[in-house]
Structure 1
Amino acid sequence: MDEPIELDTRLISRTKTGSVINATTNPNVANVSNSEQQSNVVELPPVDRGFKAWSFCASACALETFIWGWNNTYGIFQEFYSTNPPFQNSSLISISAIGTASLAIQYIEIIAVIAVCQRYPEKVKPAMWLSLFVCVAALTVSSFANQVWQLIILQGVIFGLAAGVLYAPIIMWLSEWFVQRRGLAGGIIFGGSGVGGFAFPLAIGACLDKIGFSWTMRVWAIILGVCCSLALFGSNPRLPVRKPGIDRPRSSWPSGMTNFIKNPLLLCMLATNAVQALGFFPVSVFISTYTSALTTSTISPTIVLALFNASSVVCYIFFGRICDSYPYAAVILFSGLGSALGAFLLWGFATHLGLIFAFALVFGGLSGGFPGVWPAAATEIAGPVHEHVSLAFGAFGVVKGIAAIVGPIIAAALHDKSKTASYERYGSHGYRKVEIFVGVMAIATAFCAIGVAFMSKSKRVQ
């Protein structure tokens, strides 16, 4: 182990990887007051390895599982609300607004939450505990709801806002704990959403059948509270946090924002994320409904949704690991072309369960695992400005959140309801235009990969 280095009154720490952190340039490490000058050297835990780094990864994955895994489960609730009292007489648009509101809010608010967390680091952990309490309370109170507008407010807006605050610091701390293995760690963390998306539809579907909506929500609220509380104990920043004072002024808002916003690579990645998400979310919303049209089985839609979410876990980790060693633009190209083939061929000709299962695995993996490229892309966009890594994640989340709203709306408009009972050779049950739209968005993603590769090469040359 390297020995800590002390120079004047600056706080410097050499980690096991040999990196040096200086408090005069990194506000997160905090300046040292006169009373602390005799203990002004802090040795930080190593990045990319060690118990604390991987315990953070495991804890963050647990939070991802219960927060985003819940979002990936909403298709089960949507089908239940549409067919069971007291919500079955509500419009499909209002019912779908519950899950859409929660998902979109969590994505869109990430960048604002991260910016505030960077400004007030000492408030982050208390805010996470408070947000968890609000999440549990919102789900508990929603168990007494008897109208859809109440669910929109409780499960959609309130839960979405609180869950976003609970999760956003994970994105910020990921870049502190992992550098060379950031893609792998990010893939493991993001894969939690697929794990939850696989397990929760099966468990929650069974609970809805056996104990009903009200008790399902209460039991789930307790499970969420207990498991996320345990995960919060392991979710901590790597850099020490100290309260600001007279001799330790609060850090400024992230610098260089003008150059960050105008970064051509950022703009190209935002466009790529937008078209990719526009094609992904219609499938995540309608795949259960499409499966229901193919069979009278009540379990098949749940299994398809579970497979769709589970397949993303493998690609999250695989894409993240590949991006640690190879250009992420190649992964984007592979994801786009593979998703397009899945949409045009497997879903287009899916007139029986075998093909829709295959489509769920292929498209769910290649398209669902797409955010596995985010750590590598954000790192290159940020360059030497550490704070911009998290902001790039937040910017990706904003466009994905908007697409989570727009994509399903477009798909709903393209769906031909007059053919819901037909079995055409291609695009049955009125989904032909939806399938074509999803496939075109996947092809557009592949074309965007070429632009990303060009911008990335230009940035490296500079």
Structure 2
Amino acid sequence: MSLNEDISLRDSLPSDVGEQEAHNTGQDAHNTGQDASNLDQADSRIWESKTKRACVLVGSAILQLPIWGRLKFNYNFVAILLTYAGFAMNYGVFQEYYSSNWTLQGSHEVTGIIGTTSNGVMYLSMPFLFALFTRRWARRRQTAALCGAALTCISFLLSSFSTQVWHLVATQGVMAALGCALIYSPTTLSLGEWFTTSNRAVAYGVVLSCKNIVGSACPFLMRGLLDRYGFRVTLRIWTAIAAATSVLAIFLIPTYPSSISSSTHRTRKIPWQFLKHQTFYIYAVAIVFQSSGYGIPQTYLNTYAHEITLLSQTSATLLLTIFNIPGIVASSFFGYLSDNKRFSLSATTVTSISAVSSALSAFLLWGLTTQGSMALLVLFSMTFGFFAGGYSATWGGVINELEREAAQRNEAIDTGMLYGLLNGARGIGYVSGGLAGVPLLKAGSTSSVGSFGYGTTYGPLIIFTGLSSVFGGWGLLWKWKKLLHLV
């Protein structure tokens, strides 16, 4: 076609055809720009969500210091006070310090209930606090956590002015525990909401690993502060540490948006249908058993090292650190096992791995220690600390399994409330173990029978630790029983 023909053909076309082509071209450009803008907004939202999740994870990790460092502080504070009260007379290590610095009125043995009371108050209050903040007061989570931080700091500050032993029990065992429960409950609810089913167990595992980092560092930190400054100044230093870390971490954990929006409307009731099913009680009872034995080595390993294996105070303190260090890896490991999709393991299998292995550690390592056998005690601390310390990281898998069971029954389930009840079961276990420890210790042989730990006054405690640990995995037996009935 010639140039003149082409021009004449264009002139002969209707004018609206050209306008339509121009309009279509402009519309395509507008749509392309709009799509690009939508993609940018989606990328921005994804990036913002990932950033907030990272902040939530970091904030939850930092909170392990004021929350669980308080508990480790109590345990080590009590252990060192008891050392001043008793072991110093035998070994002469702290005799001078004790005689010149012990000013509290009351029985030294009463200090032993601080850790147990603190554990019981904190864990047993969690089901109520989780129920309160999961829906009804979701908007007030940060405010509640800040109030908890204030209560914790005030309680430690007040305890620095204690003149009687019961003052320590009231401030550290009750007030500080309630404050930490107020911090832990709302922030943990937010953690579980920001991390969904696919990665919830891993998130719990990472945070629990940080808890074990705190447990590994606190024995030496507390011992150094107490030896250098005394317990009054140490308590004030700890107050400052708790205040700084808790306030920073709480502001890093925003409440999940859907929880805020739902709380502005008519408050929905918590679905309690899961309480009608056997699976929940199987896991709850297992947690009670495991927790009752888990606290025994933490409470008595220090004194066992002194009295039976005749280790120095420094070596005994090292055992507490070694006990917590493996849990750093174990919590993330068991969280990964619970969430792993490539090698899928049921929650009962993962909990049983933790329970049976920790029981074998108690029976074969702690029970067979002899005088001066530090190597065997170190091995026990490492293995029991790894397998028993990772048990609570399996709860993410337990919650995932209960969620799937609820979905199969077409029922709603509140995972935050469920996690709070599991913590309540842990509290029952801790209190039970603490109450059982004293009579079990008295039931032991006053004179050594044989050369192993079983023949000492700690023999019943060792057996109790092993048995309660193995029953922490009894869910596997229940599962096998169901399979046999199906066959």
> Which category of TM-score, normalised to the shorter sequence, fits these structures?
0.7 to 0.9
Shift in Å, 1:124? 1.4
Choose from 216, 220, 223 the match for 1:202: 220
Shift in Å, 1:399? 1.4
Residue 319 (structure 1) aligned with residue 334 (structure 2)? yes
What SS does structure 2 have at the residue aligned with 1:119? coil
2:426 alignment partner AA: K
Larger radius of gyration: 2
CA contact (8 A) 2:274 2:413 kept: no
Choose from 166, 170, 189 the match for 1:153: 170
What SS does structure 2 have at the residue aligned with 1:198? helix
Q: Which whole-Å CA distance do the structure 2 matches of 1:452 and 1:106 have between them?
A: 31
Q: Deviations over 1:73-110 (max 9, x none)?
A: 43311122322413486142x21221211111111111
Shift in Å, 1:15? 7.5
Choose from 158, 162, 166 the match for 2:183: 166
CA contact (8 A) 1:119 1:250 kept: no
Structure 1 residue aligned with 2:434:
408
CA contact (8 A) 2:145 2:187 kept: no
Q: Which whole-Å CA distance do the structure 2 matches of 1:4 and 1:267 have between them?
A: 51
What SS does structure 2 have at the residue aligned with 1:299? helix
Q: Which whole-Å CA distance do the structure 2 matches of 1:452 and 1:441 have between them?
A: 19
2:378 alignment partner AA: F
- Give identity over the alignment, percent: 24
Give the direction of change, closer, same or farther, for the CA distance of 1:416–1:425 in structure 2 (3 Å limit): farther
What SS does structure 2 have at the residue aligned with 1:364? helix
Shift in Å, 1:422? 3.8
Structure 1 residue aligned with 2:154:
137
What SS does structure 2 have at the residue aligned with 1:72? helix
CA contact (8 A) 1:274 1:400 kept: yes
Q: Deviations over 1:131-175 (max 9, x none)?
A: 111111110110010211111111111111111011111221122
1:125 alignment partner AA: Q
TM-score scaled to structure 2, two decimals? Answer: 0.79
Choose from 266, 276, 282 the match for 2:296: 282
Choose from 238, 247, 255 the match for 2:256: 238
Q: Which whole-Å CA distance do the structure 1 matches of 2:144 and 2:162 have between them?
A: 27
Structure 2 residue aligned with 1:376:
397
What SS does structure 2 have at the residue aligned with 1:355? helix
Give the superposed CA RMSD.
Answer: 2.9
Give the direction of change, closer, same or farther, for the CA distance of 1:250–1:44 in structure 2 (3 Å limit): farther
Give the direction of change, closer, same or farther, for the CA distance of 1:261–1:52 in structure 2 (3 Å limit): same
- How many correspondences in the alignment? 418
What SS does structure 2 have at the residue aligned with 1:169? helix
CA contact (8 A) 1:315 1:365 kept: yes
Structure 2 residue aligned with 1:75:
75
Shift in Å, 1:416? 4.2
Shift in Å, 1:184? 0.9
- Structure 1 gaps of 5+ residues are 6-13, 17-42
CA contact (8 A) 1:69 1:200 kept: yes
More displaced stretch, 295-304 vs 179-188:
295-304
What SS does structure 2 have at the residue aligned with 1:350? coil
Q: Which whole-Å CA distance do the structure 1 matches of 2:384 and 2:357 have between them?
A: 8
More displaced stretch, 415-424 vs 388-397:
415-424
Structure 2 residue aligned with 1:260:
274
Shift in Å, 1:421? 6.8
Give the direction of change, closer, same or farther, for the CA distance of 1:428–1:143 in structure 2 (3 Å limit): farther
Q: Which whole-Å CA distance do the structure 2 matches of 1:54 and 1:162 have between them?
A: 25
Q: Which whole-Å CA distance do the structure 2 matches of 1:102 and 1:165 have between them?
A: 13
Q: Which whole-Å CA distance do the structure 1 matches of 2:204 and 2:248 have between them?
A: 20
More displaced stretch, 214-223 vs 331-340:
331-340
Q: Deviations over 1:303-350 (max 9, x none)?
A: 111111222121111000110023222111111221111011100111
What SS does structure 1 have at the residue aligned with 2:62? helix
Choose from 378, 387, 412 the match for 1:366: 387
Structure 2 residue aligned with 1:56:
56
Q: Which whole-Å CA distance do the structure 2 matches of 1:183 and 1:428 have between them?
A: 41
Task: Return the structure number with greater helix share.
Answer: 2
What SS does structure 1 have at the residue aligned with 2:313? coil
CA contact (8 A) 1:70 1:200 kept: no
Residue 90 (structure 1) aligned with residue 107 (structure 2)? yes
Structure 1 residue aligned with 2:421:
395
More displaced stretch, 385-394 vs 213-222:
385-394
Runs of 4+ deviating beyond 6 Å = 2-5
